[in-house]
């Protein structure tokens, strides 16, 4: 199938893009890499009146290290992230996770902002943002605001965006006392995860975010506390019982819980600086 007709707009500035969103009153959608939105339109799962192409918005581009934070423009592609020396040095978790996101063709075009705005529960980036304690800078008709990743993901394909665009992502740079872990289980390499987890350990505190298991990327506070208290792995895994695991054609909730436990054990085993 082909996408239904739509207006195509290519604003030259962030302000112009926000004005267009207002003008279309919720009937326009931003277009980033198009790797999810175009298939959704072709399958008629989305039918916006207009696409607002973000390609020319310089405000959404670039990677800067700002003292203890790295700021990544929303239009940064996965390939740009992989090739960036500052990202490699300051966010080691990205190097562990990026090879698992789809395939080269998709990584060349798909953007970090598009992934976060989409909020696919099986995507890697939302979980990374939770584990890394990232902040998401957004801008809309009422101005700019900063949202913590913990407050950003509200449900399946649902975020706290309110007619706004993601402008940039702010991630604390890695500290010497931190260790990072990542593992995901898929049917084939590059597929969306059946279950996965991203972990950041800072001294004896943990942030562990699961993906592919529930309606959104999910931290399990009691599980993190159990890791902090150095409980045995059986007690740690018991806290997964509090997650509302997804049942779907690929795996039922019992299988997903088992896979989440396997992913956690492997990620903990492979923790690296």
How would you label 246-266 residue by residue, b for 16+ Cβ within 10 Å and e otherwise? Answer: beeeebeeeebbbbbbebbee
Our finding on whether 72 is near ligand FAD (CB under 6 A) is no
Q: Which CB sits closer to ligand FAD, 163 or 270? A: 163
From the list 9, 17, 31, 185, which residue makes contact with ligand FAD (rule: CB under 6 A)? Answer: 31
Interface residue with ligand FAD among 18, 29, 129, 227 (CB under 6 A) is 29
Distance of CA 13 to the CA centre of its chain: 25
Give the nearer residue to ligand FAD in terms of CB position, either 31 or 81: 31
- Farthest CA pair distance, the chain: 57
Tell the smallest beta-carbon distance from residue 249 to ligand FAD (Å): 17
The reply to whether 36 sits near ligand FAD by the rule CB under 6 A is: yes
Q: Is 137 in the site for ligand FAD (CB under 6 A)?
A: no
Residue 44 CB, nearest approach to ligand FAD (Å): 15
Is 41 one of the binding residues for ligand FAD (CB under 6 A)? Answer: no
Residue 235 CB, shortest distance to ligand FAD, in Å, is 31
The interface mask with ligand FAD, positions 101-130, x = CB under 6 A, is xx---x--xxx-xxx-xx-x--xxx-----
Query: Which of 11, 35, 92, 182 touches ligand FAD (CB under 6 A)?
Result: 35
Shortest Å distance, C-beta 192 to ligand FAD? 5
Alpha-carbon distance of 50 to 125, in angstroms, equals 26
Q: Using the rule CB under 6 A, give the single segment among 36-44, 195-203, 224-232, 255-263 that binds ligand FAD.
A: 36-44
Q: How many residues bind ligand FAD (CB under 6 A)?
A: 31
* Integer Cα distance of 111 and 33 in angstroms: 6
Task: Give 33 or 181: the residue with its C-beta nearer to ligand FAD.
Answer: 33
Q: Examine residue 263 and tell whether it contacts ligand FAD (CB under 6 A).
A: no
270 near ligand FAD (CB under 6 A) = no
- Taking residues 149 to 178 in sequence order and writing x for each that binds ligand FAD by CB under 6 A, - otherwise, the string is ------------x---xx------------
DSSP per-residue string spanning the chain: --PPP-EEE--SSHHHHHHHHHHTTT-EEEESS-TTHHHHHHTTS---SEEEE-TT-GGG--EEEETTEEEEETT-BHHHHHH-HHHHHH-HHHHHHGGGSS-HHHHHH-BHHHHHHHT-TT-HHHHHHHHHT-EEEEEETTEEEEEEHHHHEEETTEES-SS-EEEEEEEEPP-TTEEEEEEEE-SSTTSPPSEEEEEEEETTEEEEEEESSSSS-EE-HHHHHHHHTT--HHHHHHGGGGS-----SS--HHHHHHHHHHHHHHHHHT-B-
Binding site for ligand FAD (CB under 6 A): 29-37, 39, 54, 74, 101-102, 106, 109-111, 113-115, 117-118, 120, 123-125, 161, 165-166, 192
């Amino acid at each position: 199938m082909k996408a239904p007709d739509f207006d195509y707009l290519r604003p030259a500035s962030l302000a112009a893009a926000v004005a267009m969103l207002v003008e279309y009153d919720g009937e326009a959608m931003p277009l980033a890499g198009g790797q999810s939105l175009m298939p959704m339109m072709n399958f008629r799962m989305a039918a916006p009146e207009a696409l607002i192409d973000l390609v020319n918005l310089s405000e959404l581009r670039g990677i800067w290290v700002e003292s203890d934070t790295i700021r990544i423009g929303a239009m940064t592609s996965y390939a740009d992230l992989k090739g960036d020396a500052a990202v490699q040095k300051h966010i080691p978790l990205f190097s562990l996770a990026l090879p698992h996101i789809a395939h080269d063709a998709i990584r060349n075009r798909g953007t970090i902002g598009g992934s976060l705005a989409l909020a696919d529960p099986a995507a890697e980036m939302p979980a990374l943002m939770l584990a890394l304690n990232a902040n998401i800078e957004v801008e809309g008709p009422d101005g700019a605001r900063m949202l913590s990743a913990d407050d950003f993901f509200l449900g399946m394909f649902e975020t706290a965006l309110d007619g706004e665009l993601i402008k940039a992502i702010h991630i604390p740079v890695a500290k010497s006392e931190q260790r990072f872990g990542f593992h995901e289980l898929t049917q084939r390499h590059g597929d969306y995860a059946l279950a996965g987890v991203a972990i950041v350990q800072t001294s004896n505190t943990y942030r562990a975010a699961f993906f592919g298991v529930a309606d959104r990327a999910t931290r399990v506070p009691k599980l993190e506390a159990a890791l902090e208290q150095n409980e045995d792995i059986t007690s740690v895994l018991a806290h997964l019982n509090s997650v509302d695991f997804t049942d779907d054609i690929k795996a039922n909730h019992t299988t997903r819980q088992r896979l989440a436990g396997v992913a956690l054990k492997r990620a903990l085993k492979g923790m690296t600086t």
